[in-house]
């Protein structure tokens, strides 16, 4: 049975903030109204992750026109369906208004908040349904992993990341490729990979947005790194206060295993890599990498002196590579589009883009 060819898609934000603003399930209500009007075979409702412009949420974007509706509530659903999806008219009162001129901007790309952005780590957030691996694959997902496993040596993968100029996005800014190289060259047959998703700074939701809106980008980045450094096992350390992120990560891991993108003999190669989620108890100190390692091991999360650094002696005393969520999400596009493309963005000493959270 083939899926209908929809004439319109309604992307409804199902990120934490938009859901908190309106406890009702807007996507479910939209779907119910669309079905009531007999449009279920013509219009598809997509639950997406966060679009970033939380101050005007909840938001819904109607494609293919890209009509951007903000502060959408339950009473607006019937009007959106009637006016826009049935009659093809814009509901002007739900459009974004410029603060100074109050001019209404109907389309997503016209809004200054979005038009000035170059989205790499956030490339899929607010666009795809994060619960469906097929939507990630449809936008080029796991192509970079396939490229790495079938056409590149581990050393070539590391060289590409080094050439890109990618630095760790967790704060320290250490060159990512160099970090991978240290771990690969460290003696030992057992090596580990860790994603630091213990985002504890007040008002910071960069990692949360990626985990909730595009978890597969993190899984793919980690699988590529595991191949490069020789790791067979990895952990995503995510704070338990991010229940939606944890839920979507676990679902993404299960789907990736089902598709042969995690687990044994990935994509039919000799490379095997498995991932599991470790939920943190909310200790701010566990954002520091050695405290995070101690927590995964079941000990009190306390930092230890360095050296030795985790690349030499990390999880259970084995060589371990740790990067944060945003760093991992940048890896697949670097391999897909080339390190030169990534290096052409940013400053002389810090390439690429950086996600920022502004609050208060």
Q: How large is the average pLDDT for residues 215-225?
A: 98
Q: Which long-range contacts (CB under 8 A, 24 or more apart) does 337-346 make?
A: 338/160, 339/160, 339/161, 339/162, 339/163, 339/164, 339/165, 340/163, 342/120, 342/164, 342/165, 342/166, 343/163, 343/164, 343/165, 345/118, 345/120, 346/165
Averaged pLDDT score across all residues of the chain: 93
- pLDDT band for position 172 (50/70/90)? confident
Q: Name the pLDDT band for 22 (thresholds 50, 70, 90).
A: low
The strand pairing partners of 323, in sequence order, are 195
Q: Per-residue confidence at 203, pLDDT binned at 50, 70, 90?
A: confident
192-197 and 233-239 strand pairing: parallel
pLDDT cut 70: percent of the chain above it: 98
Whole-number Å distance between alpha carbons of 339 and 163: 6
Would you say residue 334 has pLDDT above 80? Answer: yes
**Locus of tokens 């009659």:** 87
Q: What is the pLDDT of residue 202?
A: 79
Q: Residue 238's closest CA among 219, 211, 220, 264?
A: 211
Is residue 59 predicted with pLDDT exceeding 70? yes
Q: What is the arithmetic mean of pLDDT over 301-320?
A: 93
pLDDT recorded at residue 222: 98
The whole-angstrom separation of Cα 152 and Cα 23 is 47
Give the β-pairing of 104-105 and 192-197: unpaired
pLDDT at 36: 96
Read off the DSSP letter of residue 4: P
> How far, in Å, CA of 1 to CA of 167, rounded?
46
Nearest residue to 128 via CA among 54, 253, 55, 216: 216
Tell me what pLDDT residue 2 has: 59
Q: What was the pLDDT predicted at 283?
A: 83
Check if the beta carbon of residue 329 is closer than 8 Å to that of residue 210: yes
Chain position carrying tokens 């890209």: 66
List phi, psi (to 5°) of 341: -60, -50
Task: Name the band, by pLDDT with cuts 50, 70 and 90, for residue 249.
Answer: very high
Length of the chain equals 360
Give me the mean pLDDT over the 165-175 stretch: 90
Residue reference for tokens 């796991």: 142
Tokens of 210: 């990626």
Distance CA 125, CA 325 (A): 14
Q: How confident is the model at residue 150 (pLDDT cuts 50, 70, 90)?
A: very high
- Encode pLDDT of 271-285 as tens digits: 999 999 999 987 888
**What are the residue boundaries of the structural domains of the chain, listed by start?**
8-115, 140-343
259: tokens are: 């598709």
Beta bridge partners, 62, equal 10, 67
pLDDT above 80 for 30: yes
* pTM for this entry: 0.94
Residue 86 has pLDDT above 80, yes or no: yes
Per CATH, the homologous superfamily of domain 140-343 is: NADH-ubiquinone oxidoreductase 51kDa subunit (3.40.50.11540)
| Class of the domain covering 8-115 | alpha beta
Which tokens is 360 given?
């208060």
Cβ neighbour number for residue 324 with a 10 Å cutoff: 24
Examine the pLDDT at 23 and tell me if it is beyond 70: no
Average pLDDT on 209-230 reads 97
pLDDT at 204: 82
As a whole number of angstroms, the distance between CA 223 and CA 172 comes to 23
- CA 150, CA 169: separation in Å to the nearest integer? 28
> Treating both helix axes as pointing N-terminal to C-terminal, what angle do 215-229 and 176-185 enclose, rounded to 10 degrees?
40
Residue 63 backbone zone (phi > 0: left; psi -120 to 50: alpha; other: beta): beta
């Amino acid at each position: 049975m083939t899926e209908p060819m929809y004439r319109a898609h309604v992307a409804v934000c199902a990120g934490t903030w938009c859901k908190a603003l309106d406890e009702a399930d807007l996507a479910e209500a939209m779907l119910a109204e669309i079905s009531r009007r007999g449009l279920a075979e013509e219009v598809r409702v997509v639950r997406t992750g966060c679009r970033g412009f939380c101050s005007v949420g909840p938001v819904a974007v109607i494609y293919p026109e890209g009509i951007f509706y903000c502060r959408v509530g339950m009473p607006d659903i019937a009007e959106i369906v009637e006016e826009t999806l049935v009659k093809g008219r814009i509901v002007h009162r739900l459009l974004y208004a410029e603060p100074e001129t109050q001019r209404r901007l109907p389309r997503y790309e016209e809004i200054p908040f979005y038009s000035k952005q170059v989205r790499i780590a956030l490339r899929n957030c607010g666009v795809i349904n994060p619960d469906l691996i097929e939507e990630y694959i449809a936008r080029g997902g796991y192509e970079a992993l396939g490229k790495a496993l079938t056409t590149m040596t581990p050393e070539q993968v590391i060289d590409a990341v080094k050439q890109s100029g990618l630095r760790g996005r967790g704060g320290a800014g250490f060159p990512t490729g160099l970090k991978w190289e240290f771990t690969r060259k460290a003696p030992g047959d057992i090596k580990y990979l860790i994603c630091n998703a213990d985002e504890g700074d007040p008002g910071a939701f960069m990692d949360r947005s990626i985990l909730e809106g595009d978890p597969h980008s993190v899984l793919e980045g980690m699988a590529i790194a595991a191949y490069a450094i020789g790791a067979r096992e990895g952990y995503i350390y995510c704070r338990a206060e991010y229940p939606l992120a944890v839920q979507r990560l676990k679902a993404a891991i299960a789907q990736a295993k089902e598709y042969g993108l995690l687990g044994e003999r990935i994509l039919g190669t000799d490379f095997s890599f498995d991932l599991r989620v470790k939920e943190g108890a909310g200790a701010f100190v566990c954002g520091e990498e050695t405290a995070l390692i101690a927590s995964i091991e079941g000990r009190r999360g306390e930092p230890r002196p360095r050296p030795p650094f985790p690349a030499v002696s990390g999880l259970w005393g084995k060589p371990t590579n740790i990067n944060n969520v945003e760093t991992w999400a940048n890896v697949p596009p670097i391999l897909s589009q080339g390190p030169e493309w990534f290096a052409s963005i940013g400053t002389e000493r810090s390439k690429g883009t950086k996600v920022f959270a502004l609050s208060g």
